[in-house]
Structure 1
């Protein structure tokens, strides 16, 4: 289809009715439109373009930003993405970009963001801050939020957290959660007395010695609640912590129970979360654009995992997964599946954190929490939402700098998932591959110095200098990713294709519930 024809069809659609997901209460979209040089060189053509272009698309001309750069404004409620596509299709137009609002630099008022309180780590949410010499791996969310905070809460991108479920009574999560689902089919694992149902709340996943699934005694982890808080804790509400995704919404999907989860439940949950049909279940009315999988195990990717990943990616859904916490060994499924954004873990100083696994499958790395000392409070944990109960839920709290410190690649992953969600609020038409490219190409280089990480093998390797072959393209940079997304034009539809290597259909999936493992390895980080 020729550009002009496609542009005319889009224009007719735009003039017929207000389109898209923007709410009327939001500012109307504005664009800086650069005319083609030949149109600018010819005065008559330039004058005609200045007059006809806004008329054809029902836009208001506000003036010029520079020579040959028109400033155009849409109507309240119009879809910025559709307008941008229509403008770009016009033969007189060379380039289009959003005329981004610029605000003063301001931090949200969540007390744990800038510093710890009486129960939290002294460094507060260090991992969201602008990086400096003392913490080069921080993701610069505070400057990223000046580019996007996820739009309005009612229409923002949805991130599905496939995990142990959530505690819906947590004050930093209660208003951010969408109706989810419990996909655990085995009542012995589910703990809540039944199989699959519409209640994704976490009843606790504590285990005792002699557990039939092979886990040793451990208190409830509240792992899903912790992951959900990092993605989407209510932000700028003067309570607790800030979520990396600010206004992103969280879809809780319970797939992990006592000790373990099963792959069959996880792949069904992936499809449902993406809006695909699952036999015997109601269709998800709130499909996610991003899936967070802070779980894994079982070696190489098989056709069951790969088939589910291909299917959700064909829907435009981004899959983000943690690489594992086995002290520098090989990445396991689903993080090693084709098309997944696999996330490694970093120390505050930008080195690979001791427990994080390594390998060429890793897309990029992000802060995962480390203590940097042999005794006393953990210095650089990932503070997040949790519950006080050792077995059953007792009441909401936040993880701190003691035995409850959140450490693990499970907690690096939601920082990347949240950034991917915000990238999609800036440019909704990006494919999963394009989102990964934005994240990788905007990542900061790993610090120099120290012994380089080596390829995974049969021997542990703890903290080491990351390379692009062991820890991915670089360190997550939210501000740079959102800036890059704002100038990235979608190339077309994304998605996967074909199955992966054959595998065991009944693969038992071991969750990356890092509480016990992190406690054992925290001083080695």
Structure 2
């Protein structure tokens, strides 16, 4: 919502349960490689707490070698994960049958609680479009925005830390003031592309890839299928959460007074389950061997990443640990137009799984869906126009670090940080809220999607103001509403008006007079929109902008109209300042 003042009317001017600790059987047999999975190189083995292998690395190493001998493979104990699980190196990439033999050897041991493959996960942003635009419809548009400005009178994220487990962070002046020290958890130097393995520098050097550099898929096709440039994915996600606001440049973060903590797990060819498990543990304040304690444990974790297959026990255990420490975990549903229940971590328990909607409030064509989805948030859809994507902080560098910029992306990766930002606002407003209470409040205050959703979009479209209890949500207005639904054609280089007659209101108009506007017009930057009071005084609601190529003006403005009488004829005055694009006033209204 845009706020201004009325000229001449006074002053002008936002995992399954823990591994069993008793003597119950280990998890049921799992497929070593589901269709479409990559060959397995490592396993994550969770031992029961009473087993020697759960505490002693030498005991675990001895057990791993014994299991390998039994399966006819050469296995090695690699390291201990933050959850206490053992990372087991298979020595080479094993096919489905050989991996199944190794898994079976572990599952036959009553001291083993679970064994899961260490799989790669990837950033879940759909194909990005780098065309710039300067409108964050996802925050405030009446049709399918998340009503974020209506929540800012309650909270701005102050004192809240959000960990972004992603590709790391590339320097950007519109975000730098809110970034706190993070960590690089990528253990494979080749994947890290920064000259080493794990270290305290989460800087993103880029994640470009050449065609086929990551191997082949189950159908023998090269991965990736074509050369790719740097995504700067983590920086885009972080900007949606906490870009600096009120600094006269760039974009507004949803929780713009929160801090963001870059935790790097994704590099060349994605990231591994083992690294992600340790990142979740560390970010939430848990202990990871060989890594210094996190001085700023996260109140909220955002994971805009995912891979094939249902939630594994290792990831679920890490998430459970994070939630038990009071951290709200938000994850992307995935971009495969498929059931989110088939993807990890989207299908994990104790997380808020987020689907993506487009600018009209439909489930985005790429977004996953289903019972695993908890909530939907704006994710954008850039097929027709970059103006329909999610605009955030980025970098120009294709294969190295370039200069800072902004770009429109689409994806459930873009939807998830909307909810992470909202969770940060709620955490500031009531620090006593548990992760479960935050999730429940977001879902209970959601509104129905304005468009369509097939397959299931959770509780609906998130509403930040309603979730914060600030009265700016989707409840029917309690005041008097006056509308005009008669279409008025807007001609090139012309000014038109539409009138609303207000009667029965005593005294002056309110200091926050709401003006809902629905104008259908291509290239809306052509338009200047004004509200004209009965006494002839006026205020500009929207000015012309040569850089705003998006279509339509569908939003609610607020003006201070306390200096003029309420009753009388109010006018919406619309001027088309350029030629070449036309449209019409569909409807507009006033709420007193």
The answer to whether structure 1 residue 264 and structure 2 residue 274 are counterparts is yes
State the Cα distance separating 1:239 from its structure 2 match.
1.7
State the partner residue of 1:358. Answer: 369
The answer to whether structure 1 residue 421 and structure 2 residue 424 are counterparts is yes
One of 97, 117, 120 as aligned partner of 2:132:
120
**SS of structure 1 residue aligned to 2:447:** coil
State the partner residue of 1:164. Answer: 167
2-structure distance, mates of 1:285, 1:267: 19
One of 444, 463, 466 as aligned partner of 1:477:
463
**SS of structure 1 residue aligned to 2:307:** coil
* Contact map agreement 2:186 2:197 (CA 8 A) in 1: yes
* Contact map agreement 2:153 2:470 (CA 8 A) in 1: no
2-structure distance, mates of 1:328, 1:140: 28
Give matches, 1:101-120, under 5 Å.
Answer: 120=132
State the Cα distance separating 1:236 from its structure 2 match.
0.9
The answer to whether structure 1 residue 232 and structure 2 residue 242 are counterparts is yes
State the partner residue of 2:199. Answer: 197
State the Cα distance separating 1:485 from its structure 2 match.
12
**SS of structure 2 residue aligned to 1:433:** helix
Give matches, 1:490-505, under 5 Å.
Answer: none
Give matches, 1:332-347, under 5 Å.
Answer: 332-347=343-358
State the Cα distance separating 1:378 from its structure 2 match.
2.4
Aligned residues: 334
* Contact map agreement 1:245 1:422 (CA 8 A) in 2: yes
* Contact map agreement 1:426 1:485 (CA 8 A) in 2: no
The answer to whether structure 1 residue 309 and structure 2 residue 310 are counterparts is no
The answer to whether structure 1 residue 323 and structure 2 residue 333 are counterparts is yes
State the Cα distance separating 1:379 from its structure 2 match.
3.1
In structure 2, stretches of 5+ residues that fail to align are 1-129, 216-222, 473-592
In structure 1, stretches of 5+ residues that fail to align are 1-117, 400-404, 455-469, 487-525
The answer to whether structure 1 residue 436 and structure 2 residue 439 are counterparts is yes
* Cα separation, partners in 2 of 1:335 and 1:212, compared to 1, 3 Å: closer
1:225-273 CA-to-partner distances (Å, cap 9, x unmatched) read 1001111111111121111111010010000001210000001000100
Give matches, 1:391-470, under 5 Å.
Answer: 391-399=399-407, 405-447=408-450, 453-454=454-455, 470=456
TM-score, L = length of structure 1: 0.62
State the partner residue of 2:145. Answer: 138
The answer to whether structure 1 residue 188 and structure 2 residue 190 are counterparts is yes
State the Cα distance separating 1:210 from its structure 2 match.
2.7
CA-atom RMSD in angstroms: 1.8
State the partner residue of 1:46. Answer: none
**SS of structure 1 residue aligned to 2:355:** strand
State the Cα distance separating 1:282 from its structure 2 match.
0.5
State the Cα distance separating 1:298 from its structure 2 match.
2.5
2-structure distance, mates of 1:231, 1:355: 22
State the partner residue of 1:209. Answer: 211
* Contact map agreement 2:340 2:347 (CA 8 A) in 1: no
One of 286, 291, 316 as aligned partner of 1:276:
286
State the Cα distance separating 1:372 from its structure 2 match.
6.1
One of 354, 357, 370 as aligned partner of 2:381:
370
Q: Which has the higher helix share?
A: 1
2-structure distance, mates of 1:484, 1:337: 31
State the Cα distance separating 1:119 from its structure 2 match.
6.9
* Contact map agreement 2:146 2:462 (CA 8 A) in 1: yes
Q: Which has the greater radius of gyration?
A: 2
1:159-211 CA-to-partner distances (Å, cap 9, x unmatched) read 000000011x2101111110100000001100001100000010000001230
TM-score, L = length of structure 2: 0.55
